[in-house]
Amino acid sequence: VLTDRAIPAAEDGLLSAQRKILWTMEDYLKMDSKSKTKKCNALVGSTLATSYFHGDSSCYGALCKMSQDYLMRYPLIIGQGSLGTQENNDMKASSRYTEAKPSIYTDLMMQDFKKNVVPLKETYNGEFMEPIMLPSLFPNAICNGKQGIGVSMAHNSAPHNLTEVCNAAIALIEKGELTIDEVLSYIPGPDFPLGGTVLNIKDVRAAFASGKSNISLKIQGDYEIDGQDIIFTSIPYRTYRNKIKEQIEKNIDVLSELIDDFDDESNIGQNKLVFHVKDGVSVSKALNKLFLLTDLQSTLSYNMNYIVNGTPKLCSMVDLLHAYVNHQEDVLVNATTFDKEKAEAR
């Protein structure tokens, strides 16, 4: 369960199901970011036919998650149709109504795949050879956050900025080793897809050093104050508007003493929650109460368990950067060997 389903690999940051979907799209169906979108029904069917041995609904769920730009800092799939919204985690259309194709980041993850750069294994039906990991030039393990629950072990990581991660990887290659303070100078903290502010950013240091948060990060949605109005333009990472509305209803007795009215003016891809504070009531008092009673302030922990060389391991940020760089060196050597042998044969 741990190595095959619940914990992502340190080299490509993918769970087994995600890897099967991306490999099927790029290698079996010959799709890339420049292709036309295909029906998700067909993509799920092809993945089940090649390598995925669970149900079609769980396969489609994994595909949807990789396309959600509020969950993935760098989506690996470009979706067309309703593949999920921040209104409600379950609001997605049936797979026969939606379409998808790989994103440019997936193209980078499959670069040089044909040059035998990664180890392969037989698929469950023995018909195909699927990759144990992808070449993954794009550092997906660090750039896209993930949640996974296995047996006796869980995974929780946050998304980070691609430019910052690349600068840290370059520094590691040049220096051979980085201290945790040097890593923090390149990657100061998480970078959420739709904004949000980390209050206790100093606690990121401990999480980066050990791979596990001693203190959960407190994240607040971004907001503006206009007179007696509080306007939230984003909600914290991995939170949903329907849950926030439920929490407002549940605590209506307390909140009605401070707030006159509440409007949800959000649309697809944009959050906008407007609270009208009562005249004579302090806006900061109303704001603190909202943070206390709803997911407009939430927490996120680091628990960076990854599969490293086939074994689950708690990784610090330095370990993850080493795993990425070592993997890229292997890919480069294997690709060059392939080119050399091809040239010699010619």
Query: How far apart (Å, rounded) are the C-alpha atoms in residues 292 and 283?
Result: 14
Report how far Cα 164 is from the mean position of its chain's Cα atoms.
16
Range 207-242 burial, b when 16+ CB lie within 10 A, else e: bbbbbbbeeebbbbbbbeeeebebebebbbbbbbbe
324 is catalytic: no
CB-CB contact of 298 with 219 (8 Å) = yes
Tokens of 271: 């959050």
Assess contact for 153 and 6: CB atoms under 8 A. Answer: yes
What whole-number distance in Å separates Cα of residue 236 and Cα of residue 214? 20
State how far Cα 201 lies from the chain centre. 20
Helices (H), ranges, 51-151: 56-65, 104-109, 140-143
| CA neighbor of 25 nearest in space, from 2, 46, 8, 10 | 46
Alpha carbon separation from 55 to 15, 48, 181 (Å, rounded): 16, 8, 45
Q: Which of 70, 74, 97, 124 is catalytic?
A: 97
- φ, ψ of residue 90 to 5 degrees: the values are -95, 5
Name the nearest CA neighbour of 98 among 64, 62, 59.
64
Residues serving a catalytic function are: 97
